[in-house]
């Protein structure tokens, strides 16, 4: 799994890039405005969201049934009507609350969340998207509207730390490019989420960690898995697709800790894993320690359903690699995001999905 940020550049490239940014920054700062400036991408934690995750784009049915021209015409006709919030909306609002707290503590810092709207919508639809963003008071200045083309190729250019979409194919493509990504699902009932603290819940295997241990469970059973985890307890697990996002969250958390704000930190992270604590939990915790990462709460469920625990946590987003956990969480009001990675994609509720036979 490759790191999120691009490879190191030469000193000359960095100097030229810095000069370009400084010139752009000087120009924008010469314009008087009360609106907060977007941070430099290399300093920010960049979250790319699709228009269908940020908003409930029910109008997509027009595109599917009647084609792009009717769809664009409808959006232009209704561009003054705000779109309804989508599954990523509470998450984005929580990110902006964290930014407000960071700016109060570090007025000149650019280590902030930066939200990019990444959509294959036509540019004409952008007016309604902008009007909706302004209607809800969201701070989203960077847009990427690709007019029907996949936006995945732009994710690295925007230095994306996390990409959220409704398209499983685009998310899979992003993960294959080494970018943390997940497919978002709206919960089936509303939940009262925190207005003051960003809450992010992660599954462990095939999300924060690789699927190496899950492969053993699927192929050889629990007893072999427990023996394997005990034998390799002191060997860190390889990283999974969301490890870099947890790392980015931890970097911002430490900025609050440095100001003696640990107990009042507006970011809280949770590990919600089907692992058993006594039989296989130590390796997970030691892996996080070896990475220099903290998790605020670790919940080992030993195979019990995750939905009821998540209902108590009330995260703004919950990441898991298995759809039956996503469905169980959604039914109880948790906004969830599927990470299509690892051997779990070949199974449904523990049973191997039969692949169609290839014609000879």
Residues known to be catalytic: 203
Nearest-angstrom CA–CA distance, 318 and 309 = 12
| Gyration radius of the chain over CA positions | 21
Cα end-to-end distance, the chain, whole Å? 35
Q: What is the DSSP letter of 38?
A: P
Phi, psi of 338 (to 5 degrees): -85, 130
DSSP 263: G
Q: Dihedral sign, CA of 85, 252, 247, 150?
A: positive
The neighbouring-strand residues paired with 181 are 163
Residue 310: burial class (beta carbons within 10 Å; 0-12, 13-18, 19+): buried
């Amino acid at each position: 799994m490759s790191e999120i940020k691009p490879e190191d550049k030469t000193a000359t490239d960095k100097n030229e890039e810095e000069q370009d940014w400084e010139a752009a920054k000087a120009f924008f700062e010469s314009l008087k405005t009360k609106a907060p400036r977007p941070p430099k991408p290399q300093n920010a934690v960049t979250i790319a969201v699709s228009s269908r995750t940020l908003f409930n784009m029910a109008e997509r049915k027009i595109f599917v049934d009647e084609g792009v021209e009717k769809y664009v015409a409808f959006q232009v006709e209704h561009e003054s009507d705000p779109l309804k919030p989508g599954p990523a909306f509470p998450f984005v609002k929580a990110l902006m609350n964290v930014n407000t707290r960071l700016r109060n503590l570090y007025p000149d810092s650019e280590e902030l969340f930066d939200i990019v709207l990444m959509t294959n919508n036509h540019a004409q639809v952008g007016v309604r998207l902008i009007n909706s963003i302004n209607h809800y008071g969201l701070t989203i200045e960077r847009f990427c509207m690709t007019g029907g083309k996949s936006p995945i190729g732009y994710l690295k250019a925007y230095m994306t730390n996390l990409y959220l979409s409704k398209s499983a194919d685009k998310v899979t493509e992003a993960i294959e490019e080494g970018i943390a990504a997940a497919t978002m699902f709206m919960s089936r009932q509303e939940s009262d989420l925190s207005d003051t603290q960003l809450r992010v819940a992660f599954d462990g295997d095939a999300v924060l960690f690789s699927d190496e241990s899950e492969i053993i469970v699927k192929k050889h059973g629990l007893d072999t898995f427990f023996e394997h985890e005990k034998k390799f307890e002191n060997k860190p697990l390889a990283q999974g697709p969301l490890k870099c996002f947890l790392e980015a969250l931890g970097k911002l958390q430490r900025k609050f800790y440095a100001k003696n704000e640990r107990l009042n930190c507006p970011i809280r992270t949770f590990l919600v894993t089907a692992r058993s604590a006594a039989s296989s939990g130590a390796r997970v915790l030691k892996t996080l320690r070896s990475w220099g990462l903290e998790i605020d709460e670790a919940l080992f469920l030993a195979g019990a359903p995750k939905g009821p625990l998540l209902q108590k946590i009330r995260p703004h987003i919950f990441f898991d690699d298995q759809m039956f956990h996503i469905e169980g969480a959604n039914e109880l009001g948790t906004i969830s995001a599927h990470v299509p990675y690892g051997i779990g994609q070949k199974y449904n509720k523990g049973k191997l999905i039969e692949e169609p036979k290839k014609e000879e």
